[in-house]
Structure 1
């Protein structure tokens, strides 16, 4: 077929005509803007137009093509003996849609999303259906999202491993990683589009055709055998297909994405969603399984083995995040492992939720997988995992100058007459009188406090600042009388006029941190001062255990009331749905009052509400968080 005719073949719609590959001698200049222009106008970039950066472009391109064609061949070999009607045509259409998406992302990177209207128009003009165009758009969105993720994790991992094995290198610059990912996608795009033309005669010929296509030459198409249309046959009996093609993408990453979308709709916090995503990325990396249908019991066991070998601080440092899992495990040999049984079992629970999602979507192969037998036996009770403050600790803590009056901005841990009612003042107080989590308190909006039937209440609910840990975390609590006496409701009214309506604007996090992080450093210093160095390592979360313990000691208090206060799940569906909340105030009133001095605030609440902590700045150890002045307003 002549080159011009081939490149206008409607079967390859979206691959616009390109000039033959140009062989340029000497140094090659590369302009990102010109690449985007060519990718946009032409859709393909010739080998000579790609910069020489040590990536051995053709080697990487060929490896990507070869791997993709092998995957296509394996997928076609697994088509059921009795496929659903139209399964073959859908397979070809799906291959084209993925190939087109990979082509766009391979030339434009993350800028390929969303698909431009002129690209959609070109596909429509070439006769592609709305369903196929929508599939291209969805694929582009998913592929483009990967550019914002760690290049060594999740769906990026196979491409990174291909670069490593093809080039026999372990280290790449960020520019090489970005460009290498696009080369891999170009190879995938060409391979899928060649495969979409029909049957594959052999992988070698198909790979040669795909390489020609990726580099702008006219493929000979010797590898493609147009599908033979069967002769008309009698109407077959109505027999349900034994194994229909799945309606949902079986990739583990795709199952995880759908699960996370569900969690987001259920108002799960972004922090929890991010934590779960990291576990799923680690699971894929540890097991080297990307398709949920290929999971076996031994893969689950392998994952638990890896968790038991990981150090506690794995991938916490920037340097560690660039290491492969194999490198992390090698470096951990001979060192004490730090993952606790609680952490391992939590990760097992996350995998269990993934398998439950897969079962619900019809992937029956996961039914026989057993996570229960892999759970770690704890050597201590849950209540001992984090030490609780004792009643004596709490009384001692609130005798600190933050609540009694401090001397000056430089000597904030020394007694004086200044009190600033900011996040460091309020968050520990609320934690000690409600048992709420740090992020739940620090992320409150002023509108989350109101008076209902004459009772001041605090709503712990998802807002623009943060979500909640889970569904049962959403609750409304009456305020402890001491919080009312200290002026928390007046603080809320003033905060409505402050920046973004935050209750504690000084607790707004900088990039990459969470609500409540700004007070963490100073609170640790405070606890060390009050509790003789804090040898047990107690933290702000220890207030939650303190409140749980105190509520448990109240005679006649039903367990469900305690769980309602703390935002814990009930023992049964009935308990969760029909729990009475009227005893909450009575229970909270029995928590001991705190020894807070009755001193006027050094700054009006309105001034406190106007002040915010600048992103990226860690306050000095000598200054109260978020305060710029200690003088009375």
Structure 2
């Protein structure tokens, strides 16, 4: 109790409401709710309302509960189903290329996520102390990001209407009940999380090996094969290892026919076994795409799409989504603020809140761009297609791809490329000529701060690398081949590469070396830094270099001008590099493609062409003009 306020307490900096009551039938009943506020006055108001409302809740709890027998039966059923699923998954992994690091990460994330949901409830999150604990246990940033995504998807799936209805149906069949109440539904969720957590932990400590165990048992019972065989078994004796006559295939017309095995209902995968909840489908789709090397950034976009779709349409069950819902989704995409998704608060905003905010904005700041709108439509199409392939009955008239809108401009019209003159003008910014302070790096001063904001645009102008590729460079990615220093672009735990063509070597331009880039690399290594620009990592959003894009917008407006530079961005430098090299007749086309990470035009170019020699790549890079 906090300052004589009933049932109000603090957990860390956040207030919570908690109330216990002794029930005649269930013993101690404990309700605990995070108020999600640090404001004491707000917490007191909410706590008082909860105290009043809880009277009816506890009265219902006292009359509506699961018996211990029912709870044990449900736990047993869920645990058995989860163990069976894990055994099937293990078999598929063993028979399909082995168990790699990504599989281990996903298994670890699921095991941890289910334990958190069982111990902390369905609103469990990765708070700062828990993150520190996980890091102390050896978890990497990639592991923690995977856990956070898994935790969010499992929680949403367990809370979904589809999953609740499924649990209700299965529980009533299991117990022969006619009905169940709201509190029993809460108990089922808690028991489900506990059972799945126990199953994952049991499986991780000693995975069952049914095939090996059965084979060992049979071999042990065979005895010596030199002196006996099943056909020598005396008449009237029994042998567990002798095939029954009725199971043998009978020859017909001299042709031996195989026996048709009867389907095993326990192992058969049927369509209704898949949860049709949109977040459950996204989770399963994301798990498969991770194994294909898809970037976590892209996988997060699916979750973001799912949240937006549910917010705008109010529907999660894919079997209940129709063509009119998809059309309504597109219609509302034109009415939400352009800035949607830039703030963490948007994830929990209601449709009314989004529309109210749009009403207060000027027209030019309302409605998602056509490219963004089409991306959300594409995500809906991919989720629907994935669900259909799983056997989920989706409305056949639901064809989201027909809702895409035609872009008003071609891709090369939406963004300009820099010219060498514009880049020289850009690099007259105080960032590269002298700033007032590192915090006020865009204000004129006397000191040049050689941080990520200083280096990333320069490297981009002299290499054509993407923002995230530069901002997320590990110090170990700066390598040397016969005296030629180069950037080794490959995926890391924190940053995956965009495509297979993105895996490449880019020699470091002599101008960057003259400006002291290699000295910066060595200094970062001596300081024990893993990344070249640790100041550019956004731990909240788990992305590299987002601040650079924001600063670049300010720098372009400041040096080139908001009107002339409105279609310029950091990515425009990549187009600048491609334009310079593709027009240089001394640089082969294949080298240009390799530098800018574009796929080849045909199978010969994509599958049979090997990486260019480092000397040829250096020649091409050195053809880029000096702009700073």
What is the TM-score with the length of structure 1 in the denominator?
A: 0.59
Query: How many residues are treated as equivalent by the alignment?
Result: 466
Looking at structure 1, the residues matched to 483 and 407 of structure 2 have their Cα atoms a distance apart, in angstroms, of 46
Classify the secondary structure of the residue corresponding to 1:582. Answer: coil
Classify the secondary structure of the residue corresponding to 2:544. Answer: coil
Determine the structure 2 residue equivalent to 1:304: 330
1:56 pairs with 2:53:
yes
Give the 3 Å change call, closer, same or farther, for CA 329–401 of structure 1 in structure 2: closer
1:549 pairs with 2:579:
yes
Determine the structure 2 residue equivalent to 1:355: 384
Determine the structure 2 residue equivalent to 1:207: 181
1:585 pairs with 2:617:
yes
Give the 3 Å change call, closer, same or farther, for CA 374–542 of structure 1 in structure 2: same
Determine the structure 1 residue equivalent to 2:172: 195
Q: Tell me: higher relative CO, structure 1 or 2? Use CA pairs within 8 A at least 6 residues apart.
A: 1
Give the Å deviation of 1:436.
1.7
Give the Å deviation of 1:430.
0.8
Give the Å deviation of 1:304.
1.9
Looking at structure 2, the residues matched to 343 and 489 of structure 1 have their Cα atoms a distance apart, in angstroms, of 39
Give the 3 Å change call, closer, same or farther, for CA 191–400 of structure 1 in structure 2: closer
Give the Å deviation of 1:450.
0.3
Give the 3 Å change call, closer, same or farther, for CA 243–508 of structure 1 in structure 2: closer
Determine the structure 1 residue equivalent to 2:406: 377
Determine the structure 2 residue equivalent to 1:392: 421
Give the Å deviation of 1:327.
3.4
Determine the structure 1 residue equivalent to 2:569: 539
Looking at structure 2, the residues matched to 366 and 574 of structure 1 have their Cα atoms a distance apart, in angstroms, of 41
Q: 1:567 aligns with which of 597, 600, 615?
A: 597
Looking at structure 2, the residues matched to 394 and 327 of structure 1 have their Cα atoms a distance apart, in angstroms, of 42
Looking at structure 2, the residues matched to 578 and 145 of structure 1 have their Cα atoms a distance apart, in angstroms, of 50
Give the Å deviation of 1:28.
5.1
Q: Is the 8 A contact 2:451 2:533 kept in 1?
A: yes
Q: 2:279 aligns with which of 237, 253, 256?
A: 253
- Runs of 5+ consecutive residues of structure 2 not aligned to the other structure: 12-16, 34-46, 67-72, 83-110, 126-147, 189-246, 248-259
Residue pairs, 1:99-498, within 5 angstroms: 140=117, 144=121, 146-148=123-125, 195=172, 197-201=174-178, 203=179, 206-207=180-181, 210=184, 244-317=270-343, 322-329=348-355, 331-332=357-358, 335-336=363-364, 337-363=366-392, 365=394, 369-400=398-429, 402-403=431-432, 405-406=433-434, 409=437, 419-498=448-527
Looking at structure 2, the residues matched to 212 and 267 of structure 1 have their Cα atoms a distance apart, in angstroms, of 37
Determine the structure 1 residue equivalent to 2:212: none
Classify the secondary structure of the residue corresponding to 1:456. Answer: strand
Give the 3 Å change call, closer, same or farther, for CA 94–306 of structure 1 in structure 2: farther
Give the Å deviation of 1:381.
0.8
Deviations 1:467-525 (A, max 9, x none): 33455433322223333443433432332222423212333335346322444555444
Determine the structure 2 residue equivalent to 1:629: none
Looking at structure 1, the residues matched to 392 and 120 of structure 2 have their Cα atoms a distance apart, in angstroms, of 24
Determine the structure 2 residue equivalent to 1:501: 530
Q: Is the 8 A contact 1:190 1:213 kept in 2?
A: no
Q: Is the 8 A contact 1:480 1:585 kept in 2?
A: no
Q: Is the 8 A contact 1:255 1:358 kept in 2?
A: yes
Of the structure 1 ranges 476-485 and 358-367, higher mean CA displacement relative to structure 2 is found in 358-367
Give the Å deviation of 1:342.
0.9
Determine the structure 2 residue equivalent to 1:97: 78
Q: Is the 8 A contact 1:96 1:196 kept in 2?
A: no
Looking at structure 2, the residues matched to 550 and 61 of structure 1 have their Cα atoms a distance apart, in angstroms, of 73
Q: Is the 8 A contact 1:146 1:155 kept in 2?
A: no
Give the 3 Å change call, closer, same or farther, for CA 468–501 of structure 1 in structure 2: same
Q: Is the 8 A contact 2:452 2:536 kept in 1?
A: yes
- Runs of 5+ consecutive residues of structure 1 not aligned to the other structure: 1-25, 70-91, 102-133, 163-184, 215-234, 597-633
Determine the structure 1 residue equivalent to 2:255: none
Looking at structure 2, the residues matched to 394 and 406 of structure 1 have their Cα atoms a distance apart, in angstroms, of 17
Classify the secondary structure of the residue corresponding to 1:434. Answer: coil
Of the structure 1 ranges 282-291 and 570-579, higher mean CA displacement relative to structure 2 is found in 570-579
Q: Is the 8 A contact 1:406 1:419 kept in 2?
A: yes
Looking at structure 1, the residues matched to 294 and 623 of structure 2 have their Cα atoms a distance apart, in angstroms, of 29
Residue pairs, 1:603-618, within 5 angstroms: none
Classify the secondary structure of the residue corresponding to 1:477. Answer: strand
Determine the structure 1 residue equivalent to 2:29: 46
Looking at structure 2, the residues matched to 511 and 479 of structure 1 have their Cα atoms a distance apart, in angstroms, of 31
Looking at structure 2, the residues matched to 60 and 380 of structure 1 have their Cα atoms a distance apart, in angstroms, of 57
Determine the structure 2 residue equivalent to 1:113: none
Give the 3 Å change call, closer, same or farther, for CA 323–501 of structure 1 in structure 2: closer
Classify the secondary structure of the residue corresponding to 2:415. Answer: coil
Give the 3 Å change call, closer, same or farther, for CA 594–209 of structure 1 in structure 2: closer
Give the 3 Å change call, closer, same or farther, for CA 492–407 of structure 1 in structure 2: closer
Give the Å deviation of 1:256.
0.8
Looking at structure 1, the residues matched to 57 and 606 of structure 2 have their Cα atoms a distance apart, in angstroms, of 56
Give the Å deviation of 1:458.
0.7
What is the TM-score with the length of structure 2 in the denominator?
A: 0.59
Give the 3 Å change call, closer, same or farther, for CA 529–454 of structure 1 in structure 2: same
Looking at structure 2, the residues matched to 212 and 321 of structure 1 have their Cα atoms a distance apart, in angstroms, of 24
Classify the secondary structure of the residue corresponding to 2:488. Answer: strand
Give the Å deviation of 1:324.
0.5
Deviations 1:94-150 (A, max 9, x none): 89639x99xxxxxxxxxxxxxxxxxxxxxxxxxxxxxxxx99958946995654399
